[in-house]
Every structure is written in C-alpha cells, then in structure tokens.
Amino acid sequence: MTGDPYKKKTIRISTIIIEVYYMFFFKSKFFAKVKKGSWAVVTGASDGIGKEFAIQLSQKGYNIVLISRTTEKMEEVSKTIKEKEPSRETLIISADLSEKESIEKIASKINDLEIEIFVNNAGQSNEFPLLFHELDEKTRKNIMNINAVNFVELTKLMIEKMMEKKNGLILTMGSLSAIHGAPLLGLYAGTKSFVLNFTNSLAYEYKDSGIKFHCFKPSFIATNMTKMRASFTVPSAQKFVRTALNRIGSPQIDINPVPIHRVIEIFSNFFVHFFMNYVAQIGRKLRRRAIEKQQLLDKSKQD
C-alpha cells in the first residue's frame, strides 16, 4: 500500500511551512529575563565561534567563564566583553581539553558559580584532509579526547550543577559532516555524529529536569580554523552565533541555523552518494595540495 498521496503532500507542505517559520520568523524569548549573577561557560572561547558566543551571551546579561588553552587570547576576549558590558564579570580558565586533568581543574574553578548556560564549543580536526591511516597518534587522540571523551565529562559536570537549580541550557557544536560523514575527515565527522546523537538523547532523558539542549550542525564558518573568508555560503562567526542564539527555545533539538547550510543538508539527504563523492573529491584535492606544500617547505629547509 502506498498510502494517501494527498495526505503525504499535506505533511510535506506542513513540514516546509514549519521549517520556514523557525528559520526566518521565530524569535527566541529565552533571554528575556536573565537572572542577575548567572554565568555562561564557553569552551574554545579564545577565537572564532566560541569568542562570539562569549561576547553575545555577555550582551544578553550573563557573566562569562572563558575556557581555552591560550590565556592571552582569552584576556583579549575578556577585555572586549568588559568594554561592551562594564558590569559583566569574566573568569578565565586556561585548560587543554585533550587532557583528563583539565576537567578537575574546571570543576574546582566553577564550583561556587551559578551556571545557567554551557556552550560546549571546543573542537579538534585534522589540520588538512588526510586518509585515516595517515593521521598520527597525537592527532587521533586529540580529536577523540576533545570532541568525545572530555566533551562527555564536561557535559556531566555541567548537568550535575544545573540539576541543583533544575534549570539550564546546554549548547553543543555538531557539524553538517555528522549526518553522512566526511571523507578524509572521517574521525572528525565520526565524533561530530556522536555529539549530535548524544545531545538528542540527553534532550529526551532530561526533558522534565528544566535543562534544555540544542545541537548546531553548520557547514563551514569563517574562522581561523577553517581559514575561509565570509561569503554567502560561509557566514562569519558573528552572524552564525547571532542566528543560532535566536533559535534557542524552539522545539527543534538539532538545528542548522544558517539557511543555505540547511538547503545543503536537505540536498545531501536526497543525493547522499553524489554528495559524498563530491566531498571526497574536494578532500583529495586539498590533501594533495597540502602534501605538496609540505614537501616544498621540507625541501627549502634542506637547501
């Protein structure tokens, strides 16, 4: 049985209408009343997306805990926050999230703070596309520890703090690559798929706890990590974060807040084989260029 074609058509149209509404017309009311003294914790806060989350959440009324490896950069972010919002407090925690000891350090530093928001933004990928067996052990461990192992431990820490007040918001950074994978970035894509499914699972586990969850799954964003310029298909970190925060409180758990990225996601769902081959082709080209560049650098050093 094929079912009622008119019913299927109605469902499709309704889905499109709902999608368009949340993409272009939904306005978050989550930040309408921010309790004085509330803190937001942001990992990977020294640059790019994390930096923008820290700045924009401070503008919405939150004190900010900045977590990253680079103290100097976090001090600059803290300075920017206080210039824009003089009444805000900041706490800088220098921590390498590839190391287990960092979790204990963070736990002790935030013990007395009232944490309302946790942005689990820190992430690690290959420096450039490579075949999986070409990744060295250090890179493999860093990707796994930052994107998965310590990601889990930090999430547990924040949930325990939020359960005390039965209130909180946890935002995670997935990726468009989490849906079907990314050839030559396979380990990174695998960890992002974990992040996406883990976040979805927790959202239902803690549905009645007062803790909300969202996972963002963008494509490329213009940051120092991607080394890409802002364009129609590659939004700036500032624009991405502004759009993402405006979707907080919607019934959707996993969100692609950038319209063009959502279009790419839908296209990839219909043409998976074509999409994966295309990504693999680009990855191979970038790998070849990077290897050739490295060979030239090595040769120049020898000369």
Exactly one of 161, 188, 206, 212 is catalytic; name it: 188
- Enter the tokens of residue 284: 């191979």
Among this protein's residues, is 188 annotated catalytic?
yes
Closest Cα to residue 106, out of 117, 122, 93? 93
- C-alpha distances in Å from residue 224, one per residue of 36, 92, 171, 227, 267: 33, 21, 21, 5, 27
Phi-psi region of 38 (alpha: psi -120 to 50; beta: other; left: phi over 0): beta
Nearest-angstrom CA–CA distance, 129 and 91: 35
Instruction: Give the type of residue at 171.
Output: L
2, burial (CB in 10 Å: exposed 0-12, middle 13-18, buried 19+): exposed
Asked if 42 contacts 81 with a C-beta cutoff of 8 angstroms, the reply is no
Report how far apart the first and last C-alpha atoms of the chain are (Å, whole number).
73
Exactly one of 192, 206, 212, 217 is catalytic; name it: 192
User: Cβ of 267: how many Cβ atoms within 10 Å?
Assistant: 12
Phi-psi region of 168 (alpha: psi -120 to 50; beta: other; left: phi over 0): left
Among this protein's residues, is 36 annotated catalytic?
no
> Which sequence positions are flagged as catalytic?
188, 192
